[in-house]
Amino acid sequence: MGNLSGESSLTGALSIPTQMMPGTNNYNDLSNKPKLNGVTLRGDMSFDDVGIPHAYSQLSDKPSLNGHEIEGKMTLEDLGIKPGYDAVIDPTDDEHVILQF
């Protein structure tokens, strides 16, 4: 056996076989896979597989105004509002209301 004392340094290359290295490079071999909505992510998964609504009609808590559920393109009158102009509300565009005079 060798003995190192004082200041010493090593140079060169160290080769370690990958089977001796911890971890994996194969996602399927992971023991702690990530989850989405409590569903473990494996292979190709759809929104339905992980419980994510992908269409407005699938939302469980749809927005409403004046007790009227907002769906599709609606006028303010559809929502119980009587303006001096027409307005179109598009639920897919939460930044704009179209006013038509």
pLDDT digits (tens, 9 = 90+) for 8-56: 677 888 777 766 667 778 888 888 899 999 999 988 999 999 988 887 7
Residue 1 has pLDDT above 60, yes or no: no
- Whether 95 is covered by a domain: the verdict is yes
**Domain range enclosing 85:** 63-101
Report residue 70's pLDDT band, with 50, 70 and 90 as the boundaries. confident
Distance CA 35, CA 51 (A): 11
Instruction: Report pTM.
Output: 0.39
With contact defined as beta carbons under 8 Å apart, do 40 and 33 qualify?
yes
| 56 part of a folded domain | yes
Q: What is the domain count for the chain? A: 2
- For residues 35 and 33, give the distance between their C-alpha atoms in angstroms, rounded to a whole number: 7
